[in-house]
Amino acid sequence: MEIFNIENKDAINITNCDEEPIHIPGSIQPHGYLLALHKKDLTVAFCSNNCPNLFGKPTTALLGAAIGSLITEEELTTLQTKLTEEKPDYSQPIVFTINGQECNVLVHMRGDWTVLEIEPFPDGRMNLPDLYSYTSNFVTHINQADTLQALCQAIAQQTRDITGYDRVMIYRFDDNYNGEVFAEALRDDLLPFLGHHYPHTDIPVQARQLYMLNMMRMIVDIDYAPVPIVTKNKDADNTQLDLSLSILRSVSSIHLEYLRNMGVKATLTISLIQDNKLWGMISCHHYTARNIPYFTRLSALLQGHFLTSQIRVREVQEEYKRWKQIENTLHTLQETINHSPNFVEEILGNKELLEMTDATGAIIGYNGLIESTGDVPKGAELDKMIAALRTAAKGQMYSTAKLKDIIALGSDYAGAIFIPLTEQDFIIWLKPEIVKHIYWAGNPTKAVEMDKGTSRLTPRKSFELYAEEVKDQSTPWSTPELRGAGELAYALQNQLLIKYAQENELRYKQMNAKLTHLNTELSTFNWISSHDLKEPLRKIQILISSITHSSREPQVNDKVTHTLTRIEQSARNMQTYVDDIALYSKVDTSGVPVPVDLNNVIERVLKTNGWNDDERYQFSIAKMPTVLGYKDQLELLFKNLFDNATKFSNGNVQISVDCKLANSDNSMAGNYYEISLTDNGIGFEHMYAEKIFLIFQRLHNRDKYPGSGIGLALCKKIMTNHNGDITARSTAGEGSVFKLYFPQDKTEN
């Protein structure tokens, strides 16, 4: 039977390692053995090429064999039981004795396969961990460690005690996955790496993804020769066997070269996962080959679980401690805001405003003014900064430790918090630049270098300490500082809104007093128009009439008669204006609106004005609704509209009135009755569609079409009184369409 090797032979180098499919290498490390079984019948589909050494059978005999033929019946039952568990714990191995050799067997399922990873005990014995002792020690560490870093240091030391590795480091990643050695336990003769930083390129994206899936990874000897995985299926390749969950999975040659350049011979890595994200890792280094029992590894993994259970607790604890400091300051400032009439000036004069956020300057913009305290930009530079922050904030709270990303202001201003209070008002805190030195394990800009001997790119060989100077950044704004800034801004916003409301209330009272005075004057004017002006006009008309028509008066010449006639006509026009002004002023909403049937209104208007009996006028009236309103005003509305249609006509007048349910042309909210009044009159140009509703606006000669020009303005006012609208559409010479929009009466619905 022919055997086929599925080991991945694709050429991988430093230029394409970020694309290397490290989860499907098609090979394993030689300190263990691998079988991949068909899920359905548990027959061997793949095996590592070293399996004959363990089972004492050739590869040809292993491939296709039922697993029951390779282990005891009791072991098969144990395996089958594990596979049928609802939630099997694949981190807990089972123990098989194969050819007299005791082995740990890890079982996991991936795709179509049940994968068995077999590791003989390194020292021939199964040493179970002292879980009570480890747990007891961890509780002691929790009680004694004041900070997260102190706890990490204790975990690093205990992990080294358990595993015996030369160096144990706890990495912490930043947001970009650059790593920092946060804690370290090591042999006395080794140089410490504590505080060193490693660029994110040291751990490619696909490697970080595997660390999320498989929390523990061991390399026994970086100089191992990979053991290929084989199968009898000639069409199979490395892509068919996913080893993401495998602990024996062969390692990228690039990573092995990286470790070789560091002088490391063996490693154990444990993932530290927090909030479904890789927070960091426990990284164990040894400078000679090292294989530790699986249960010892589990003990180290337990340390990782202990630590991850405390990471968020310690971070929150440290944040809470800072928050309590800020909260006391915040309470003092809030009291000032709530009880002082000059609260803006007073909080700016309180040094705690800056101490609360560890800032060096603060600015408050309110009511068109800009006040500040501490070190802040001046003049045009200040205006530019405010504009840049307002743009970046987009109406929300905005913070940055690198202000230079949006505007360059120099080293005095590197960090900012901007919080809008109203559309125009705001508060800003500022921090200066803090020049920071980051110590990298090797130059991060030279993660790869050219090998002089082979002329190929390799991982960096030098891990000599490299100091990077970071400028243009402030210290980061902490979560408690941002929370404190937000709560203070909220209190300030509320008090400013109250202040503005009080100022507006005073302004409205003053305006109301002026309006009351003006209304009184207007009422007086209306009374004068209705009474005092009418009386002289009547006397003028009577006197002129007596002069021109009395037989007792001497004859006057034609010129005088013409002049007197014009005076009399002007008096009549003035009388009309006075009457219309009085009528316009009386149309108000002082009464109580009642349901009004528009059918009755239109019928009464037609009958009262004699339009029903005049053959010159043809009316087509559809069924009208009942609306909530003022009966007298509605009669005046339709009288003016019909009067307008009959006046501006060319003889035979045709008027149709229709009604339907629709939305207003002016996008008024809600449902409206749309009543359309269409005539065949002289019409008007479209440009005058709004002008015709203005008081005293006329489009035609008064001699031909008499009137004051107040009729349609009166219609507009009546529709406004009814919470409705009126529009007009026309073409000169082709008639007009007036549309009335009445709100639906909810009681009718």
Confidence of residue 583 (pLDDT cuts 50, 70, 90): low
Contact between 209 and 278 (Cβ < 8 Å): no
DSSP 674-685: EEEEEE-S----
Burial of 658 (0-12, 13-18, 19+ CB in 10 A): middle
Which token pair is 473? Answer: 């950044």
pLDDT score, position 731: 81
Q: What is the three-class DSSP state of 688? A: helix
**Whether pLDDT at 519 is above 90:** no
Mean pLDDT of 277-300: 93
Distance CA(383)–CA(360), nearest Å, equals: 18
pLDDT, tens digit, for every residue of 238-253?
Answer: 899 999 999 999 999 8
Which of the residue ranges 133-147, 264-278, 329-343, 532-546 would you say has the lowest mean pLDDT?
A: 532-546
Q: Minimal CA–CA distance to 119: which of 227, 58, 30, 27?
A: 30
C-beta neighbour count of 254 within 10 angstroms: 20
Long-range Cβ contacts of 442-449 (<8 Å, 24+ apart) = 442/466, 444/178, 444/197, 444/199, 444/201, 444/468, 447/199, 447/201, 447/202, 448/14
**Whether pLDDT at 149 is above 60:** yes
Mean pLDDT of 144-157: 89
What's the predicted TM-score (pTM) here?
Answer: 0.61
Mean pLDDT estimate for the chain: 83
pLDDT, tens digit, for every residue of 647-692?
Answer: 777 777 888 888 888 765 555 556 889 999 988 888 887 777 787 7
Q: What is the three-class DSSP state of 123? A: coil
**Whether pLDDT at 553 is above 80:** no
Q: Minimal CA–CA distance to 353: which of 372, 366, 367?
A: 372
Please count the CA atoms within 13 angstroms of the CA of 103 that sit on its side-chain side: 22
Confidence of residue 164 (pLDDT cuts 50, 70, 90): very high
Distance CA(173)–CA(213), nearest Å, equals: 17
**Whether pLDDT at 642 is above 70:** yes
Mean pLDDT of 546-554: 58
Confidence of residue 202 (pLDDT cuts 50, 70, 90): confident
Question: Pairing between strand 653-662 and 617-621?
Answer: parallel
Distance CA(648)–CA(698), nearest Å, equals: 12
pLDDT score, position 437: 67
Mean pLDDT of 55-67: 95
Please report the domains of the chain, with CATH numbers, ordered by start residue: 4-120 (3.30.450.20), 342-433+478-502 (3.30.450.270), 533-586 (no CATH), 590-743 (3.30.565.10)
**Whether pLDDT at 56 is above 90:** yes
pLDDT score, position 416: 95
Q: In what order do the strands lie in the sheet with 361-366?
A: 369-374, 361-366, 426-431, 415-420, 398-400
Which of the residue ranges 29-33, 394-398, 484-488, 721-725 would you say has the lowest mean pLDDT?
A: 721-725
DSSP 482-506: HHHHHHHHHHHHHHHHHHHHHHHHH
| β-strand partners of 102 | 97
SS (H, E, C) 353-380: HHHCCCCCEEEEEECCEEEEEECCCCHH
Distance CA(402)–CA(472), nearest Å, equals: 6
Long-range Cβ contacts of 710-714 (<8 Å, 24+ apart) = 710/580, 710/581, 710/583, 710/584, 711/640, 711/643, 711/644, 712/640, 712/644, 713/584, 714/580, 714/583, 714/584, 714/587, 714/636, 714/637, 714/640
**Whether pLDDT at 749 is above 50:** no
pLDDT score, position 652: 78
Which of the residue ranges 78-87, 293-302, 588-597 would you say has the lowest mean pLDDT?
A: 588-597
| β-strand partners of 110 | 113
- Note the helical H segments in 24-128: 51-55, 59-62, 73-84
pLDDT score, position 747: 47
**Whether pLDDT at 10 is above 60:** yes
Which of the residue ranges 208-212, 355-359, 598-602, 713-717 would you say has the lowest mean pLDDT?
A: 713-717
pLDDT score, position 748: 47
pLDDT score, position 435: 78
Mean pLDDT of 125-131: 59
- What size, in residues, is the chain? 749
Name which residue leads in pLDDT, 340 or 529: 340
Which token pair is 653? Answer: 């007048």
pLDDT score, position 568: 64
Residue 277: phi and psi, rounded to 5, are: -140, 145
pLDDT score, position 525: 57
**Whether pLDDT at 561 is above 70:** no
pLDDT score, position 27: 96
C-beta neighbour count of 278 within 10 angstroms: 17
Which token pair is 342? Answer: 């000059």
Mean pLDDT of 159-172: 95
Name which residue leads in pLDDT, 562 or 291: 291
Q: What is the dihedral of CA 17, 23, 26, 31, to 10 degrees?
A: 100
pLDDT, tens digit, for every residue of 462-502?
Answer: 566 667 777 888 999 999 999 999 999 999 999 888 888 88
pLDDT score, position 585: 61
Q: What is the dihedral of CA 284, 288, 289, 292, to 10 degrees?
A: -50
Q: What Å distances lie between residue 101 and 246, 293, 344, CA to CA? A: 22, 14, 81
Name which residue leads in pLDDT, 438 or 399: 399
**Whether pLDDT at 543 is above 80:** no
> For the chain, what percent of residues have pLDDT higher than 70?
80
**Whether pLDDT at 455 is above 50:** no
